[in-house]
A and B are shown apart, each in its own frame.
Chain A
Amino acid sequence: MTARLLLPLAPVIVFVLAAAPAATAELDEVVARGEFIWAADQEGGGPHVFPDPERPERLTGFEVELAALIAAELGVKPRFQQGQWDRLPLLLGRAADCVINGIELLPERRRDYHCSRPYFAYSLQLLARRDGPLDAFEKLAAPGPGGRWRVGVLTGSAAEIFMRSQADLEVDVIGYDGTIDSLEQVTSHVLDAAVMDDCIFNFYADRFAALRVVGRPFAGGLYTILTPRDTPRLSAAIDDALGRIIADGRLKSLYDRWDLAGRQQILALRDAAEIPPAGRRSLRQLAGEVLPLLLKSAGMTLLLSISAFPLAILIGLAIAIGRLHGPPILRPLLAGYVEVLRGTPLMLQLYAIFFLLPKVGLALPAIVAALAGLALNYSAYEAEIYRAGLKAVPPGQFEAALSLGMTKWQALRHVIVPQAVRLVMPPVTNDFIALFKDTSVCSVITVVELTKRYSVLALSTGRIVELAIVTALLYLAMSWPLALLSRWFEGQSEKHS
């Protein structure tokens, strides 16, 4: 019995083992390959790495030029590798030799990776609407006119870590996957403020003319290049290369060209202090801190699925009935609804609801937007399933109901729909499980559910594999009962047919 129960877990275990770091490329391999692969997220934007506005197929940014300088020092060509910003370090040793993308030098990063000598000094900057009430950082210490201040940050950034550590501020910190998502949301009044590296806002200041910097920059730090811990010669070569680039003024002239405060920068980099690596806590210590967080996020996953799915079913059923029995002028509209929602990605729909609706004055809280997105997206699938189910009920049933004097709607309600619902029970339960897992997409609109919590915790604690197993087990603990339920329904409908 135990073996039978564990068997379905095998793929998870294999996956987790496969996710363990593979062999990494040392300096000699990089040289032999003739290419130096550096990872960054071009979605992160300027001034670091972004598509050239004039030639969008080409990347530009000060880090693109820096990578080229370092590659030249190593005697090889640079090659760009795209990745999602908060997961870039996971590419090390597999798809990339190093990460160069505004990675702040933090104790947690020194614990898990080799951090090069710094190549840029940043400060954090608070930003708010020009016409808003927030005009000094100190105001964050007391609640604003609308209660606690809502402040957006880039997930996994130094800004997020700093803001979350400020327990005495009346602030709700909300993490975004894109650098300037939070600026958009401040502009459309969803957030009160954003905090980010000053160079990023300076770069985009023209685009967000309605926003202003609030107070002086604070809590500065340094950008570093990440390399795996097991390629010491490559790490040393990068440090040496940086040293030469800084010493001979090439970095200064690069920053001058990008208008990134040349002289002050170089002084800061020359005198950069060492940041000690963070200690690695024992698994037992970790469990006490991490498990409650994971469980809470699992609760969010469950809440999203069990509230969104009944909505999806109701909307879907209404649409299916409308398409088959509703007024003829409505039918093409309903067909269009289904095709649009089924033919576009859930992530895009969530983006539209969360980021675009505020522009027309409808700002939904993230959880409501997530529920709406999931319910609407899945309603299209449920509509198709129910349409098939309604058509599968023999026409004699409809005729028998009508022959008793029932109206069309009475026949549907008492006779057709109950039979259709039973027929489609297995595919509908199947979709419930699919929606349950699709809740993870909601992290793109700042909802912290189980998958998001995992990736945040995995990066901050460095326990990538252990937490992956715990997270997978939590998902299974929730979806297994659903699978059993689905099988039970299948048995039931076979019995009745």
Chain B
Amino acid sequence: MIAIEELSKSWAAGPVLRDVSLVVKEGDVTALVGPSGGGKSTLLRCLNGLELFDAGTISIAGHRLAEGGHPPALLERLRRDVGLVFQQFNLFPNMSVLENVALAPRSVARLPAEEARSRALALLERVGLGSFAAARPVTLSGGQQQRVAIARALAMQPRVMLFDEPTSALDPAMSAEVLDVIGDLARGGQTMLIVTHDHGFARRAANRVVELVAGRVVRQGSAADLLE
């Protein structure tokens, strides 16, 4: 589902990714771990074209990215198949919770309003927030906001879900509710790549672990082996 080959990228300050290669198979839940500044988030952002890279190739959900700029049409097709959840949720404050989730099905997938709405409501039920459909995002707790963000990304029925430190901005209680939702998705067979610091969670939810240190893959293998 994801194949990264010898990906390299440098900022002005120096290299951030060096010859990174890794594979995520369909149905895999891969945790991307490692110290801060190791390039985890940058790698994730390269996967859906939010960042460009200098060398190597990415193949993700049937789309191929090479170094240099990407054509906008390619990125739009790719991003429909690749969901991304941010550390800071990035919900749209100018819309209700329901509108946040229904916007992409409506404007990108061009579903009829009623269908987009019922799909959004079903996803909100799935993350346990059906009763918050009419609320504004600012009135929700951090954990609730992140669950809405997950529902929003799922609304495009992506083949791959990417998570960028989804619980780093949350306290333990709120983290737990978000991790429950992600664990639920894992059991449902959703292919996922999750950047996280939480080794306990990585061990429980992920079947594979990749450790990135100073832009290099230093270890990868099954979660059970690596995180013991």
Contacts and interface: CB of A to CB of B under 8 A. Distances in A.
Given A403-B48, A414-B103, A408 B72 contact: yes
Contact of A415 (B84, B94, B138): B94
Contact of A396 (B88, B104, B136, B155): B88
Given A405-B156, A406-B108, A414-B103, A399 B94 contact: no
Interface residues on B, range: 20 to 34
A397 B156 contact: no
B76 A396 contact: no
B108 A402 contact: no
A404 B94 contact: no
A433 to B, nearest CB: 25
B40 interface: no
B89 to A, nearest CB: 8
Interface string B102-117: 0110011100000000
B104 A404 contact: yes
Nearest to B45: A399
A394 B90 CA distance: 9
A326 B76 CA distance: 18
A403 B44 CA distance: 12
Contacts of B50: 399, 402-403
B90 A400 contact: yes
A407 B92 contact: no
B138 A496 contact: yes
Interface centre among B88, B92, B152 (most CB of A within 10 A): B92
A404 B108 contact: yes
A419 interface: yes
Given A396-B86, A496-B93, A407 B72 contact: yes
A293 to B, nearest CB: 46
Contacts of B94: 415, 418-419, 422
Contacts, number: 65
Interface in B61-96: 72, 75-77, 79-80, 82-84, 86, 88, 90-94
A402 B70 CA distance: 14
A397 B93 CA distance: 9
Contacts of B149: 400
B153 interface: yes
B90 A407 contact: no
A406 to B, nearest CB: 6
A404 B92 contact: no
A479 B36 CA distance: 56
Nearest to B48: A403
A405 B88 contact: no
Contacts of A418: 94
A418 B48 CA distance: 25
A405 B92 contact: no
A390 to B, nearest CB: 14
Interface in A379-406: 394, 396-397, 399-406
A410 B72 CA distance: 13
B76 A403 contact: no
A232 B6 CA distance: 101
Given A405-B108, A405-B156, A414-B107, A400 B93 contact: no
Contacts of B103: 404, 414-415
Contacts of A496: 93, 136, 138
Contacts of B93: 419, 496
B72 A403 contact: no
Contact of A399 (B83, B86, B91, B138): B86
B79 A404 contact: yes
Contact of B90 (A397, A406, A408, A422): A397
A400 B92 contact: yes
Interface in B148-181: 149, 152-153, 155-156
B84 A403 contact: yes
Nearest to A404: B104
A296 to B, nearest CB: 41
Nearest to A422: B94
A405 B48 CA distance: 10
A410 to B, nearest CB: 5
B158 to A, nearest CB: 9
Nearest to B138: A496
A489 to B, nearest CB: 15
Contacts of A403: 48, 50, 79, 82-84, 153
Contacts of B90: 394, 396-397, 399-400
A296 B65 CA distance: 66
Interface string B41-52: 000000010100
Contacts of A402: 50, 75, 79
A404 B153 contact: yes
Interface in B117-156: 136, 138, 149, 152-153, 155-156
B86 A406 contact: no
Nearest to B107: A410
A25 B94 CA distance: 66
Contacts of A394: 90
Nearest to A399: B50
B134 to A, nearest CB: 16
Contact of B156 (A400, A401, A404, A415): A404
Contacts of B136: 496
Given A414-B107, A422-B94, A496-B93, A405 B86 contact: no
A330 B43 CA distance: 34
A405 B84 contact: no
Contacts of B75: 402
A287 B170 CA distance: 69
Interface string A292-329: 00000000000000000000000000000000000000
A397 to B, nearest CB: 6
Interface string A348-376: 00000000000000000000000000000
Interface of B: 48, 50, 72, 75-77, 79-80, 82-84, 86, 88, 90-94, 103-104, 107-109, 136, 138, 149, 152-153, 155-156
Interface of A: 394, 396-397, 399-408, 410, 414-415, 418-419, 422, 496
9 contacts: A400-B92, A401-B92, A402-B75, A403-B82, A405-B108, A406-B108, A407-B76, A415-B92, A496-B136
Given A396-B90, A397-B92, 5 more contacts: A402-B50, A403-B79, A404-B103, A405-B76, A405-B156
Closest 8 CB pairs of A and B: A400-B90, A404-B104, A405-B80, A396-B90, A403-B84, A405-B79, A405-B108, A418-B94
